[in-house]
Amino acid sequence: MDIKKDELYKIAKMITNYSNGGLKYDALGAFRFDGSRMKLFLNNEKERQAIECFLPKLNLDFSLSRGRPYYEINLALKNFDILVRVTVEVMDRYKNEPSLQNMLNALLENVINVLIAVWYNMWCSCIDNYKCNKNKILLTCSKLIRQIENITSCHLHVMYPFFGSLNTAKVDWDFIASIYEFVEGNHYFRQFREYDNKPKIINEIIYNESYIIHEHSIDTILFPLYGSLTLAIYYRTFKEMMRSEYIVNKQNMLLVRVGFHDLSDIDFYSHDGNICWNKIVPQPMIRDLFSAIQDKNVLIIDDNIGYGKTLNFCKYMIKNKNGIGYSRSAETAWHLYKKCGSTHDISGIVDFPSLRSNFHHSVQEYLIKCLSNMDYINYSSTISKYENSLSQMLSNLKIASDYGNWSQQQLKRMKNELYYARQNYNDFDCYDECNCKKKVNSK
């Protein structure tokens, strides 16, 4: 049997109550923490400079969880072994010193961030150069993603100590620390994954499990990369951790390289109009992809939807194998309805659109530039304008009601999400709860 919805609600409420008294994540996903004890774990000036680059000091006591290396992976790799060593030492002390929680949280997030970027580059290499050393690269890829999920399991426990356990026995830290050896030359890495806010990711996972996965008998969950990669890693890990505590049906969790914004230079169709499957996953994995979508109910989860080209193509892929594709956007570009009016309509593409507004990449690029330049004044003044709120979701529900051709069922799903958000989401800051509740109930 599947995990019951009330159990998911219980977990969501525990996370909400715990987070409300804990860290405050900003819209980008960064947070401030007390880093005054970091010096206890550093052996020399080189290590101090390296760690302060990863976790820049804001003043004598407080540090920020993300610095320039978070978004410049080649820079991060130069001191990655130092980051790993310090993370392991802090983790070992954390078992007896819970006060190190926020520091460890920041360190683990940085480790995982680098590993995800390296894995994606290796995986793309398996797709684009599958005839060259395909078995060796693919084996390393498989080992690396298992290790990433093992570390992510530790990270989720550090974020929410009541969830799972700090099981470090499965982590091969020597392999992790030497991962730069698998990166040839000065690789190009994507600057950022648009959807990389951990509380928001956890909220998205629990909402999907509560309202979509089991109610629609989903067999497979498919993530088009690169933007949804962090969500995919944490989702896969969350499901594995849940299986250790509850009886849960196991869905296939697929990662596919599909995108019509960031991957516009790749033609996913052959000259005769057929799908080029060997451009979507590594050649040896095509059979597994077919098996997971053939005659299956497949939920596609993308980080956001603008015009819907990526979700539309994924649905076509699934239909091509006689499967049924359902689509979910973790965020939605609702501003396009205001910009384009009735000419913009994605109601026939996304079945479960989120009422969350997408965090536009141009804003993220500016914020990242501020972090890289250590311009924390402009960073703080800008990020404060983009805090999440229920009133924002309510406003987007009105846009959905006024524009587009949304069905009553789709609008009902949006109202369910708004209700669920009011009850459980922990990354909202300020809103008029009574007013929102009154407006939701009146619709």
List the domain boundaries for the chain.
31-64+66-182, 198-358+387-442
Task: Kindly provide the residue ranges of all beta strands, DSSP E only, lying in 258-366, ordered along the sequence.
Answer: 297-302, 324-329, 352-353
Strand, coil or helix: what is 300? strand
- How much is the average pLDDT of 122-126? 89
What pLDDT score does 388 carry?
A: 66
What pLDDT score does 116 carry?
A: 95
Q: Say which residue, 22 or 413, is predicted with more confidence.
A: 413
What pLDDT score does 352 carry?
A: 95
* pLDDT over 80 at 19, yes or no: no
pLDDT in tens, 131-151: 655 577 888 999 999 999 999
Q: Say which residue, 14 or 3, is predicted with more confidence.
A: 14
pLDDT in tens, 287-312: 999 999 999 999 999 999 999 999 99
Q: Say which residue, 187 or 80, is predicted with more confidence.
A: 80
| Polymer length of the chain | 443
Distance CA 144, CA 151 (A): 11
What pLDDT score does 137 carry?
A: 82
What pLDDT score does 117 carry?
A: 93
pLDDT in tens, 249-290: 678 899 999 988 776 778 898 888 899 999 999 999 999 999
Enumerate long-range contacts of 401-410, CB under 8 Å, 24 or more apart: 401/443, 403/337, 403/341, 403/342, 403/344, 403/345, 404/337, 404/342, 404/344, 404/345, 404/346, 404/347, 405/345, 405/347, 405/348, 406/347, 407/347, 410/347, 410/351, 410/352, 410/353
* pLDDT over 70 at 347, yes or no: yes
Q: For residues 83, 85, 89 and 91, what is the CA-based torsion angle, rounded to 10 degrees?
A: 60
When mean pLDDT is compared over 189-193, 263-267, 331-335, 419-423, the highest value belongs to 331-335
Distance CA 211, CA 203 (A): 12
* pLDDT over 90 at 175, yes or no: yes
* pLDDT over 50 at 432, yes or no: no
What pLDDT score does 391 carry?
A: 87
Question: Counting beta carbons within 10 angstroms of the beta carbon of residue 233, is it exposed (0 to 12), middle (13 to 18) or buried (19 or more)?
Answer: buried
pLDDT-based confidence at residue 220 (cuts at 50, 70, 90): very high
The pair of three-digit structure tokens given for residue 296, joined into one six-digit string = 């299956």
Enumerate long-range contacts of 170-179, CB under 8 Å, 24 or more apart: 171/147, 172/147, 173/84, 173/88, 175/143, 175/147, 176/84, 176/111, 176/115, 176/147, 176/151, 177/80, 177/81, 177/84, 177/85, 178/81, 179/80, 179/114, 179/115, 179/118, 179/144
Distance CA 347, CA 231 (A): 23
pLDDT-based confidence at residue 431 (cuts at 50, 70, 90): very low
* pLDDT over 90 at 39, yes or no: yes
298 has which bridge partners? 220, 325
| Domain 198-358+387-442, CATH | 3.40.50
The pair of three-digit structure tokens given for residue 79, joined into one six-digit string = 């001191």
For residue 324, the number of C-alpha atoms closer than 13 Å in the C-beta half-sphere is: 6
* pLDDT over 60 at 430, yes or no: no
* pLDDT over 60 at 80, yes or no: yes
Neighbours of 189 (CB within 10 A): 19
Question: Counting beta carbons within 10 angstroms of the beta carbon of residue 402, is it exposed (0 to 12), middle (13 to 18) or buried (19 or more)?
Answer: exposed
Distance CA 186, CA 166 (A): 34
- Alpha-carbon torsion (320, 322, 326, 330), positive or negative: negative
What pLDDT score does 21 carry?
A: 53
pLDDT-based confidence at residue 436 (cuts at 50, 70, 90): very low
What pLDDT score does 224 carry?
A: 94
For residue 414, give the nearest of 347, 325, 320, 344 by alpha carbon.
347
pLDDT-based confidence at residue 419 (cuts at 50, 70, 90): confident
What pLDDT score does 337 carry?
A: 85
Distance CA 356, CA 393 (A): 6
